[in-house]
Copies of this chain bind each other. A is one copy, B any other.
């Protein structure tokens, strides 16, 4: 089975929009559970303004604790600019991600800059990160539709992705930020991007607003993409993008990929444990499109496990 690489973004993209605040110990525990489930890569936090995203205010505490607790886990952190990069580096981060939205309005609403300035900031931040020896990811956000401008021109998405590639980003993450994309659009857009860039460096970041997240992931697999963002339990949404629902659920992606002949190295039982934990802490139901079926399978397996020794004893 061909491997695919999944970055679980629930600690960052998932938690940033939750009403209930998780403390550092709870975040650490969520990430421990993900790592125990076989997740090898997480986006752990972001070094943004604590006023804007209070859930991420403990970034400088979380990163060193993670490095000690889970040294083998690949951990990236989001940084909005050079100042964020400095804070991330000081905390010991080894991989950073920059976010470049593909439209003028989205940049203005999100970071109060125009597109050209946002490109400059991303390029500078990537260069500084590379000078510090850090690994890098670059998001191209609203790569399908912008909540303010409508459909994002494909040639601009390709140009921005190429720009991030030329700036040395190790991974270019094409993000359907509001979850408006369809598999037909993924085929077209990722196809064009794969023609312009090395497909091994492309990742997709999907939201499941319209119930097409899994279909879009399959379309990306068919276009050659092997790197995916997903969020356990589908935790997510973006505070700056009206209409964005939860991220594509890690467990849905794992189920689809494994059943379609790809290896993820991730255990569904482990993911269900992480979902149970997050549900209890966030005090709301979580889970993607397959959650009921997955839990039923777990219940059946537990019943069989309980039955078996009894039968052996009888």
- The CA of A245 and the CA of B252, in the complex, are separated in Å by 16
Expressed in whole angstroms, the Cα–Cα distance for A293 and B178 within the complex equals: 12
Work out how many copies of this chain go into the complex: 2
Residues from chain B with a CB closer than 8 A to the CB of A185 are 259-260
A212/B182 in contact, CB under 8 A: no
Q: A3 to chain B: closest CB distance in Å?
A: 15
Closest residue to A260 on the B side, CB-wise?
B184
Q: Which of the four size classes fits the interface of chain A?
A: 20 to 34
Q: Which residues of B contact A212 (CB under 8 A)?
A: 214, 255-256, 259, 289-290
| Cβ-defined contact, B184 with A259, below 8 A | yes
Report the separation of the CA atoms of residues A252 and B213 in the bound assembly, to the nearest whole angstrom. Answer: 12
Which residues between 173 and 189 of chain A lie within 8 Å of chain B, taking CB atoms? 181-185, 187
Chain B residue numbers with a CB within 8 Å of A309 are none
A71 within 8 A of B: no
CB within 8 Å for A288 and B222 given contacts A184-B260, A259-B185: no
Beyond contacts A210-B290, A210-B293: 6 other A-B pairs, Cβ-Cβ < 8 A, are: A184-B262, A185-B259, A208-B289, A211-B293, A215-B256, A218-B219
